[in-house]
């Protein structure tokens, strides 16, 4: 496994990490990373925050210097799509016309924003945020006084709202459910974020459905039409209604796909020579009985590291990393350790009014996760606590 | 550019040119300096870009922020009076020739 070629499809956090970790583990063969974008691998979280605010530039996003990647003989095949996998021939066909042979293939194809399935959603004032291109173009629309309508009060939508307010825009958020980040956060933290947004002048409409986007194609502005008849005029509409995994390549290769490329506990598809990691992978839940697909930097980097260790023959039990997430909105740093969805009880430690508190979430007495606002020490301790719950034996051994 | 040296306890070190406006963490991670992780990308949230800045250099770097201090309470190698998070130290010309020392590890051993 040290000399034969490995191809990574996807130049995001997961793909880059897999390549870096393969070299760290002593892999010496040819190593290509196929990147759909023209940018070298970059850090996405700032796209909705510092980069969108204009306080960070493209150079600040680069994950590794080109000279360093050259030195490690990690070849970036930029501005190129993998169009097909020939499993019999063990090669990947590229949009450039060439192909790359592989001994092992790592799919790190990421995810793509969902579009709104309503009339008018192709209007040029309607945007999504995923790439540095998206962010660069959106930034020019966020002028003082611009009317911004954000559809979806999830992580991306709220981060964009906070940044847009900081730039002096008028911001309205339209959310179908009854609170912000309803699917991923406990009620106390969700309410805290809502209060922050309201204090900062964001208008949030709950329980509303968007039925259409009405605009003259060549005019800049558009109106967002809601089911209750409300019309919201907007200079720009940002759609943040989640993502779908990029699975087309896996599907056409005949691999099992079910809202993500289905992998086993070693992040391996039904074809033992092909792995899938990061946003695009659906893997067994190490803490439960079902499966998970996660969209986060942590998941991308930890799975990249795992697959490299596994391929290089490290004695690897299944993937068990504890998920964690963060978001920055105004002065609030929110950190989530574990997955708190489905909790039946939560305990708040600290006073939300102070802007510093943690919420511990349980299901049937078992700790699912901890959400911390401006309490980084609680977060890091919670990650260790959750890791110990997952691997009591390993934690006991490490403590000796 | 500012030349910054990252020294490890095994006696090895790397000296890299870090662009003004970047941070001590990014200078290391961009160039693959062993011993700095920067898991959260510079949000000051993970404590894996722990560095030691000699007392003699303390007034060359920006002061410690209370939340940074709280993260330092959780680092894998326990904090010392000279502990900082590399991501919270912006780089300017005045940091040229700065040496930071790296802890033995950034992530708790599992």
Q: For the domain that residue B30 is a member of, what is the CATH number?
A: 3.10.20.30
Q: Would an 8 Å CB–CB cutoff place B109 in contact with chain A?
A: yes
Rounded distance between C-alpha atoms, residue A161 and residue A302, angstroms: 29
Chain A residue with minimum CA distance to B42: A46
Is residue A236 located within the same domain as residue A146? yes
Is residue A136 located within the same domain as residue A219? yes
Is residue A128 located within the same domain as residue A229? yes
Q: Residue A101 to residues A32, A85, A91, A123, A310: CA-CA distances in angstroms?
A: 10, 10, 4, 41, 20
Q: Would an 8 Å CB–CB cutoff place B64 in contact with chain A?
A: no
- Is the Cα torsion angle A60, A62, A64, A65 positive or negative in sign? negative
Specify whether the CB–CB gap between A152 and A184 falls below 8 A: no
Q: For the domain that residue A348 is a member of, what is the CATH number?
A: 3.30.390.30
Cβ–Cβ gap A377/B19 under 8 Å: no
Rounded distance between C-alpha atoms, residue A213 and residue A208, angstroms: 14
The number of residues making up chain A comes to 400
User: Range of A286's domain?
Assistant: 6-112+244-311
Residue A19 lies in a domain: yes
Is residue A51 located within the same domain as residue A197? no
User: Range of B70's domain?
Assistant: 2-101
Question: Taking the C-alpha atoms of B45, A246, A311 and A397 in order, what is their torsion angle to the nearest 10 degrees?
Answer: 40
CA distance A6 to chain B (A): 21
Please name the member of B26, B39, B74 whose beta carbon is closest to the beta carbon of A381.
B74
Is residue A125 located within the same domain as residue A189? yes
A181: left (phi over 0), alpha (psi -120 to 50) or beta: left
State the Rg of chain B over Cα: 12
Q: What is the mean pLDDT of residues B30-46?
A: 88
Residue A242, both tokens: 């989640």
Residue B110 lies in a domain: no
**Domain termination site, one of A263, A280, A311:** A311
ipTM: 0.88
**Residue A163, Cβ neighbours under 10 Å: how many?**
28
Is residue A133 located within the same domain as residue A104? no
Residues of B in contact with A70 (CB under 8 A): none
Of the candidates A45, A7, A213, the one whose C-alpha atom is nearest the C-alpha of residue A126 is A213
Is residue A75 located within the same domain as residue A130? no
Of the candidates A377, A345, A371, the one whose C-alpha atom is nearest the C-alpha of residue A358 is A371
Chain B residue with minimum CA distance to A68: B31
Give the number of domains in chain B: 1
Q: Would an 8 Å CB–CB cutoff place B17 in contact with chain A?
A: no
Residue B34 lies in a domain: yes
pLDDT reading at B2 higher than 50: yes
Is residue A156 located within the same domain as residue A229? yes
Helix (H, G, I), strand (E, B) or coil at B85: strand
Cβ–Cβ gap A375/B26 under 8 Å: no
Residue B67 lies in a domain: yes
Rounded distance between C-alpha atoms, residue B63 and residue A267, angstroms: 43
Q: For the domain that residue A204 is a member of, what is the CATH number?
A: 3.50.50.60
Q: Would an 8 Å CB–CB cutoff place A375 in contact with chain B?
A: yes
Residue A40, both tokens: 């070298």
Residue B87 lies in a domain: yes
Confidence of residue B67 (pLDDT cuts 50, 70, 90): confident
Rounded distance between C-alpha atoms, residue A123 and residue A213, angstroms: 8
Residue B19 lies in a domain: yes
Residue B106 lies in a domain: no
Give the number of domains in chain A: 3
Quote the pLDDT of residue B74: 87
Chain A residue with minimum CA distance to B17: A65
Q: From first to last of its 400 residues, what are the pLDDT tens digits of chain A? A: 557 999 999 999 999 999 999 999 999 999 999 999 999 999 999 999 999 999 999 988 999 999 999 999 999 999 999 999 999 999 999 999 999 999 999 999 999 999 999 999 999 999 999 999 999 999 999 999 999 999 999 999 999 999 999 999 999 999 999 999 999 999 999 999 999 999 999 999 999 999 999 987 667 789 999 999 999 999 999 999 999 999 999 999 999 999 999 999 999 999 999 999 999 999 999 988 899 999 999 999 999 999 999 999 867 789 999 999 999 999 899 999 999 999 999 999 999 999 999 999 999 999 999 999 999 889 989 998 999 988 764 544 444 3
**Domain termination site, one of A200, A226, A241:** A241
Residue B109 lies in a domain: no
In this structure, of A274-278, B44-48, B86-90, the range with the lowest mean pLDDT score is: B44-48
**Domain termination site, one of A187, A215, A241:** A241
Q: Would an 8 Å CB–CB cutoff place B73 in contact with chain A?
A: yes
Element (H, E) at B28: helix B24-30
Q: Would an 8 Å CB–CB cutoff place A355 in contact with chain B?
A: no
Specify whether the CB–CB gap between A368 and A343 falls below 8 A: yes
Please name the member of B22, B31, B45 whose beta carbon is closest to the beta carbon of A333.
B45
Residue A43 lies in a domain: yes
Confidence of residue B44 (pLDDT cuts 50, 70, 90): confident
Specify whether the CB–CB gap between A240 and A138 falls below 8 A: no
């Amino acid at each position: 496994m040290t000399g034969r070629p490995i191809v990574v499809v996807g130049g995001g956090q997961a793909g880059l990490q897999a390549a870096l970790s393969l070299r760290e583990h002593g892999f010496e063969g040819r190593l290509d990373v196929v990147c759909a974008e023209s940018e070298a691998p970059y850090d996405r979280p700032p796209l909705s925050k510092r980069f969108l605010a204009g306080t960070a530039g493209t150079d600040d996003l680069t994950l590794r210097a080109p000279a360093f990647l050259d030195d490690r003989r990690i070849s970036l095949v930029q501005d190129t799509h993998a169009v097909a996998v020939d499993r019999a021939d063990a090669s990947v066909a590229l949009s450039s016309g060439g192909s790359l042979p592989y001994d092992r293939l790592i799919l790190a194809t990421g995810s793509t924003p969902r579009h709104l399935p309503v009339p008018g959603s192709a209007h040029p004032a309607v945007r999504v945020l995923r790439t540095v291109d998206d962010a660069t173009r959106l930034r020019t629309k966020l002028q003082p006084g611009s009317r911004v309508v954000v559809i979806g009060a999830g992580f991306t939508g709220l981060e964009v709202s906070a940044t847009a307010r900081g730039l002096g825009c008028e911001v309205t958020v339209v959310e179908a459910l009854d609170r912000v980040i309803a699917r991923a956060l406990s009620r106390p933290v969700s309410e805290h974020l809502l209060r922050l947004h309201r204090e900062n002048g964001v208008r949030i409409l709950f329980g509303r459905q968007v039925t259409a986007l009405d605009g003259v194609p060549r005019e800049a502005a558009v109106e967002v039409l809601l089911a209750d008849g409300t019309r919201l005029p907007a200079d720009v509409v940002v759609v943040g209604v989640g993502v779908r995994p990029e699975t087309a390549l896996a599907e056409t290769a005949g691999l099992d796909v079910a809202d993500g490329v289905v992998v086993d506990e070693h992040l391996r598809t039904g074809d033992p020579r092909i792995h899938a990691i990061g946003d695009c992978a659906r893997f067994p839940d190490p803490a439960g009985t079902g499966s998970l697909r996660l969209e986060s930097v942590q998941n991308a980097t930890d799975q990249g590291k795992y697959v490299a260790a596994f391929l290089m023959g490290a004695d690897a039990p299944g993937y068990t990393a504890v998920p964690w997430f963060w978001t920055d909105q105004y002065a609030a740093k929110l950190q989530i350790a574990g997955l708190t969805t489905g909790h039946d009880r939560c305990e708040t430690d600290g006073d939300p009014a102070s802007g510093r508190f943690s919420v511990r979430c349980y299901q049937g007495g078992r700790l699912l996760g901890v959400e911390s606002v401006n309490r980084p020490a609680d977060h890091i301790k919670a990650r260790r606590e959750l890791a110990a719950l997952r691997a009591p034996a390993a934690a006991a051994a490490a403590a000796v | 550019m500012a030349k910054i040296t990252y020294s490890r306890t095994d006696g090895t070190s790397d000296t890299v040119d870090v662009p003004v406006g970047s941070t001590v963490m990014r200078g290391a991670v961009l160039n693959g300096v062993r011993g700095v992780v920067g898991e959260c990308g510079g949000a000051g949230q993970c404590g894996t870009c722990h560095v030691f800045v000699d007392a003699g250099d303390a007034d060359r770097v920006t002061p410690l922020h209370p939340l940074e201090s709280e993260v330092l309470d959780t680092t894998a190698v326990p904090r010392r009076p000279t502990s900082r998070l590399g991501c919270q130290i912006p780089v300017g010309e005045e940091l040229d020739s700065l040496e930071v020392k790296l802890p033995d590890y950034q992530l708790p051993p599992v």
